[in-house]
Amino acid sequence: MRTSPVGTYLRFLRKKHGLSQRALAEILGAVSESQVSRHERSGSLPTIIAALSYQVVFEKPVSEIFPGLYHAVEISIEERLDERARRLGDSATDGPIREFIARRASRQANPEDSE
């Protein structure tokens, strides 16, 4: 095997459902065949309408359909929160952020308490 576009879970899902890119685009309506192709090879990010359309069609949350993107966002936010927590002071904006970080940490430590 030589150089080839990367594969993604979206492409895997479409094939698992036996759909061509054209057929999937027809079902989605708001997404063209070429856009499906670009989303499948990480050529562009889906719009919120496209992402939700994929969720409806495949009956899976967007976070599962785009696992790499979801975890990249998750890691980015967690790192930003860690950094922000280290810089917390006494300013007016720091109070709500401090409370948010504390509530989030509590939920993560005791996930059953939040259900």
Partner 1 sequence: MNKSVPTPSSPQIRPIEAKDFAFIRSLAAEFSTFTVPSEYLLWFLTRFHPDYCRVIEQSNGNVTAYFLAIPTSEPRNGIAIWQAAATKPDHAFALEYFAVYLRSLVERSGVKDVFFTMPADSASLRLIRSLAGHFAECEVVQLKSVPVGQGEYEFRLSIHLNQSESG
8 lines the binding site for partner 1 (CB under 8 A): yes
- Sole window of 35-43, 50-58, 97-105, 107-115 interacting with partner 1 (rule: CB under 8 A): 35-43
49 lines the binding site for partner 1 (CB under 8 A): no
Give the nearest distance from C-beta 29 to partner 1 in angstroms.
Answer: 23
5 lines the binding site for partner 1 (CB under 8 A): yes
CA distance 74 to 78: 6
**Which DSSP string do the residues of 44-87 spell out, in sequence order?**
SPPPHHHHHHHHHHHTS-HHHHSHHHHHHHHHHHHHHHHHHHHT
Pull the structure tokens for residue 90: 């006494």
50 lines the binding site for partner 1 (CB under 8 A): no
61 lines the binding site for partner 1 (CB under 8 A): no
CA distance 24 to 52: 14
Interface ranges with partner 1 (CB under 8 A): 1-9, 11-12, 16, 38, 41-45, 64, 67-76, 79-80, 83
